[in-house]
Amino acid sequence: MALELAQPTPASPPTAGRVFFDRGELHQLLSLYGRMVAAGHWRDYAIDALADAAVFSIFRRARETPLYRIEKRPALARRQGVWMIAAHGGLVVRRGRELTEVLRLFDRARFAVVE
């Protein structure tokens, strides 16, 4: 009498088919967030991993809609650039191929928060 064990079926990982930020990108985003929190401009953030984009949303208050959305869309790499910053109403403020160049929008000398 031989005992046969059923072979486990390989399960797809829950991250399959989603876009994520890598460690360096996340470090740059959280660094910027930390500076703006210290300055009193931002108070909350959210990270979403979607099928076609990774989104870092920035909020002034937790209950509001995001002030900015920093999106990574690899499908647009050859056309408009992987990175996009969208403002409150969905207006695209900046696009680019490198995160560092896109985040220059928030440099202290070029960016002022209007209350």
Q: Is the dihedral of CA 107, 26, 33, 48 positive or negative?
A: positive
The average pLDDT across 8-18 equals 63
d(CA 61, CA 49): 21
* Residue 79 maps to a domain: yes
* Residue 55 maps to a domain: yes
Is the pTM for the entire model greater than 0.85?
Answer: no
* Residue 1 maps to a domain: no
Domain count, the chain: 1
12 has pLDDT over 70: no
Range of the domain at 98: 23-106
The string of pLDDT tens digits covering residues 23-54 is: 999 999 999 999 999 988 899 999 999 999 99
